[in-house]
Amino acid sequence: MSLKLFFAPGACSFVPHVLLEMSGAEFEPSMVKLHKGEQNSDDYKAINPRGQVPVLVNNGQPVTQIVAIVLHLDQLFPQMGFLPTEALARAQAISTLAWMNNTVHPTFTHIFMPQKFSDQPEVQAALKPYNTQLFRGMLGELQGLVQAAATQGRPWLSGERFGPLDAYSLTLTRWGTIAGITPEAHPDLWDFVQKVAAEPAVARVMARERLQLNMGAPA
């Protein structure tokens, strides 16, 4: 099996990057420099015509979109227990993953890249504070999931095993600090993502991507 992951530092591609690192399998991490427009190159668009990260290439065949990649990795490495096996718990975990990817993530995009949604400066300026408030509330909802897991005695968001929800929680919380939402706003969530960051595989990926957890703090 030949695996290659196209990722961008600090992007949602962090999630499959961590899962691959945690699996212990051999894979080739390939950085895509979004700020240099490498995602729009002919070579990259031959792999993913949408020009997005991540892309997982398995034996020459590309898989795109976070949810699809996570499900594929869960099947490739069933021994890792990235997602629950019990039917209802699995559906609930995938539901939360879809919420993170389809609702929370795009809300941050409205903050970080408002030019994607309007070419009018006044609209772009209005999008940032409005979506920052929405994103703050979503991080509060994520903190509620962390608190519920702790109350139920689950060390990780989907159960006894580390999985994509935990990696994505770090990414989303880190993005919050970029938007000016301080760790103090959601202390239980911040404690949880620090536990995530302390996992050896996560720490290796953060080092490879050169990520600082709190982007609002001095480097």
Domain borders along the chain are 3-80, 87-199
* Architecture label for domain 3-80: 3-Layer(aba) Sandwich (3.40)
pLDDT band at 218 (very low <50, low <70, confident <90, very high): low
User: Average of pLDDT values for 79-94?
Assistant: 98
157-207 per-position pLDDT tens digit = 999 999 999 999 999 999 999 999 999 999 999 999 999 999 999 999 999
219 pLDDT more than 70: no
Share the mean pLDDT of the chain: 96
How confident is the model at residue 137, as a pLDDT? Answer: 98
pLDDT digits (tens, 9 = 90+) for 41-57: 999 999 999 999 999 99
Q: What is the pLDDT of residue 216?
A: 87
pLDDT band at 116 (very low <50, low <70, confident <90, very high): confident
Q: What is the DSSP string of the chain?
A: --EEEEE-TTSTTHHHHHHHHHHT---EEEE--GGGTGGGSHHHHHH-TT--S-EEEETTEEEESHHHHHHHHHHH-GGG-SS-SSHHHHHHHHHHHHHIIIIIHHHHHHHH-GGGT-S-HHHHHHHHHHHHHHHHHHHHHHHHHHHHHHHTT-SBTTBSS--HHHHHHHHHHHHHHHTT--GGGSHHHHHHHHHHHHSHHHHHHHHHHT--S-TTS--
Q: Spelled out in words, what is the top-level CATH class assigned to the domain 87-199?
A: mainly alpha
**Burial group, residue 36, by CB count within 10 angstroms (0-12, 13-18, 19+):** exposed
